[in-house]
């Protein structure tokens, strides 16, 4: 069995998550049994709905916090009628959009039920307010899955307890929190950290020498050491999704924190995986030079393509697409500013932005401030398999793409690319002046210049053909073969 661990602070549908979902589909086609373990809570989403949307099967997903209960994977089916049946006093009901509010006039209490959508009566979560203070949140699928309890501290609601339930409503275990400190209370044991909870779960998996544990190197609340230390006797693969070091000189290399334990204990890691030959070479040479060790580093792209996608109708002229998490390091604000500037030269230029994230509100404000809503659209998170080929080119202002799944998907649909000349993704997928432009001036102005060059100087048909040729080396068959070789 292959176990793949995800442990970011909270749930996102970004490059790491998309890459893991790709791995799930690839392993499935290769006939490899795999489970994908999510060691994060899902306060704003139903985990099963989220993972299905990315292409996982329910049987492939293990949620660490649900692992110790008997609740089954399920979409949300808990109804308002079932919720109301539990109320023991009269209430006043009102509804607005996807929120249903219950006010209890005899007490200064009201509940807000968050529904799956505005036309639904299916309850995902229930927020309880008492005397103007948040006191509790409940989360549902077909039953109540867990509750969060809060107390007011200096005018803010502070979480102090999570209670996880079995499907019959009995308590399976509790998580008591005090800032960054947690204690887990089970009927037969106390665990004093998230790392101990990871260890308990991994001990329940009964790992053997035939199993493989894949650890995705990413930021999170759980120390990566916990996954490595508790994997024995399984083989351990450590997957690197980003730049792996901050700084190096003749005597020292400073790894990023998320890689520190694995790089300090390479004897516990059977193989490392990076996305590109360039990064694999750098990592091998750094181990030889700074550590005097040879380590096994494999190059396996985080994602691949089922095939080349050819548009069935003409692409929209002067149309740009960008996609990814809407967060600070992606600099989507620069993309918007660049398109606004480039439109002075290319009057019918348009931009569609796909993705979701913490910067969405700021980007909406920027679009309003620049007055560009007629040609810049925020399109939300969507599956883009059949979308890229509708556009003429792809643009990115990301400040860190060691691979760039969206870059791969773009060339797989024949798109030229304009993005910053940073390692490693752009240098892999874009040949300067052949299928795009690598922008050395890291700013919205530099990006605007690249966009203008693309639509005023480039032979777009030749650029498209070169992108398709680039994509041919990243088909599923080739990536599946690499995984078979590494895991055999």
Flag whether pLDDT at 74 surpasses 80: yes
> Predicted confidence band at 314 (pLDDT cuts at 50, 70, 90)?
very high
Flag whether pLDDT at 479 surpasses 70: yes
Task: Return the domain boundaries, the chain.
Answer: 2-72+194-299, 80-191, 319-473
* pLDDT reported for residue 293: 94
Cβ contact 220:9 at 8 Å: yes
* pLDDT reported for residue 9: 60
C-alpha distances out from residue 192 to 37, 187, 203, 205, 355, Å: 21, 14, 16, 20, 37
State pLDDT tens for residues 21-62. Answer: 999 999 999 999 999 999 887 767 888 888 898 899 999 999
Order the strands of the 376-378 sheet from edge to edge: 376-378, 350-354, 319-323, 393-395, 417-420, 436-439
C-alpha distances out from residue 135 to 100, 159, 282, Å: 18, 9, 51
Same fold, 2-72+194-299 and 319-473: yes
Count of other CB atoms within 10 angstroms of residue 275 = 27
Four-way CATH pick for 2-72+194-299: 3.40.50.2000, 2.60.200.30, 3.40.710.10, 3.40.640.10: 3.40.50.2000
Count of other CB atoms within 10 angstroms of residue 488 = 5
Question: At a CB cut-off of 8 Å and minimum separation 6, what does 432 contact?
Answer: 438
Please report, rounded to a whole number, the percentage of residues in the chain having pLDDT higher than 90: 74
State pLDDT tens for residues 180-202. Answer: 899 999 999 999 999 999 999 99
State pLDDT tens for residues 256-298. Answer: 888 999 999 999 999 999 998 989 999 999 999 999 999 999 9
* pLDDT reported for residue 49: 87
> Predicted confidence band at 107 (pLDDT cuts at 50, 70, 90)?
confident
State pLDDT tens for residues 330-339. Answer: 999 999 999 9
* CA 413 – CA 425 distance, rounded (Å): 17
State pLDDT tens for residues 358-402. Answer: 899 999 999 999 999 999 999 998 889 899 999 999 999 998 777
Mean pLDDT, the chain, rounded, equals 92
pLDDT: which is higher, 16 or 21: 21
Dihedral of alpha carbons 28, 34, 35, 37, sign: negative
* pLDDT reported for residue 103: 92
The first and second tokens of residue 420, run together, are: 């910053």
* CA 404 – CA 430 distance, rounded (Å): 12
CATH of domain 319-473: 3.40.50.2000
Q: What is the mean pLDDT of residues 406-417?
A: 95
Helix (H, G, I), strand (E, B) or coil at 162: strand
- Which residues are bridge partners to 125 per DSSP? 114, 139
């Amino acid at each position: 069995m292959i176990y793949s661990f995800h442990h970011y602070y909270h749930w996102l549908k970004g490059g790491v998550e998309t890459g893991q979902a790709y791995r799930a589909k690839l392993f499935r086609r290769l006939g490899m049994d795999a489970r994908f373990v999510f060691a994060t809570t899902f306060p704003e989403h139903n985990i099963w709905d989220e993972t299905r949307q990315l292409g996982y099967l329910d049987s492939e997903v293990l949620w660490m916090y649900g692992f110790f209960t008997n609740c089954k994977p399920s979409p949300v089916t808990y109804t308002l009628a079932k919720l109301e049946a539990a109320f023991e006093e009269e209430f006043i009901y009102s509804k607005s959009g996807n929120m249903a509010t219950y006010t209890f006039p005899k007490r200064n209490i009201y509940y807000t039920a968050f529904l799956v959508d505005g036309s639904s009566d299916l309850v995902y979560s229930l927020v309880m307010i008492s005397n103007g203070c948040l006191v509790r949140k409940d989360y549902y699928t077909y039953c109540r899955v867990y509750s969060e309890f809060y107390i007011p501290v200096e005018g803010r609601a502070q979480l102090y307890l999570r209670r996880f339930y079995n499907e019959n409503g009995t308590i399976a275990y509790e998580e008591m929190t005090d800032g960054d400190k947690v204690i887990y209370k089970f009927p037969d044991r106390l665990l004093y950290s998230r790392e101990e909870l990871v260890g308990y779960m991994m001990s329940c998996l009964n790992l053997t020498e035939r199993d493989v544990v894949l650890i995705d190197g990413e930021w999170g609340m759980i120390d990566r050491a916990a996954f490595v230390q508790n994997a024995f006797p399984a083989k351990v693969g450590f997957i690197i999704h980003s730049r792996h070091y901050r700084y190096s000189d003749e005597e020292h290399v400073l790894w990023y924190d998320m890689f520190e334990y694995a790089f300090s204990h390479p004897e516990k890691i059977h193989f490392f995986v990076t996305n590109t030959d360039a990064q694999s070479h750098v990592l091998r040479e750094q181990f030889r030079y700074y550590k005097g060790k040879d380590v096994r580093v494999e190059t396996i792209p985080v994602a691949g393509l089922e095939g080349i996608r050819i548009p069935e109708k003409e692409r929209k002229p002067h149309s740009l697409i960008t996609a990814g998490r809407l967060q600070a390091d992606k600099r989507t604000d620069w993309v918007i500013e660049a398109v606004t500037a480039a439109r002075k030269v290319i009057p019918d230029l348009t931009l569609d932005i796909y993705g979701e994230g913490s910067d969405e509100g700021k980007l909406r404000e920027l679009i309003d401030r620049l007055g560009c809503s007629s040609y810049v659209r925020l399109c939300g998170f969507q599956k883009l398999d059949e979308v890229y080929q509708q556009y003429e080119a792809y643009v990115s202002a990301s400040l860190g793409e060691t691979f760039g799944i969206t870059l791969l998907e773009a060339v797989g649909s024949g798109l030229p690319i304009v993005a910053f000349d940073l390692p490693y993704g752009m240098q892999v997928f874009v040949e300067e002046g052949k299928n795009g432009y690598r922008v050395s001036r890291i700013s919205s102005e530099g990006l605007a210049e690249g966009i203008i060059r693309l639509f005023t100087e480039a032979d777009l048909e030749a650029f498209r053909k070169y992108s398709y040729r680039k994509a041919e080396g990243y088909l599923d068959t080739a990536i599946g073969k690499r995984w078979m070789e590494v895991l055999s």
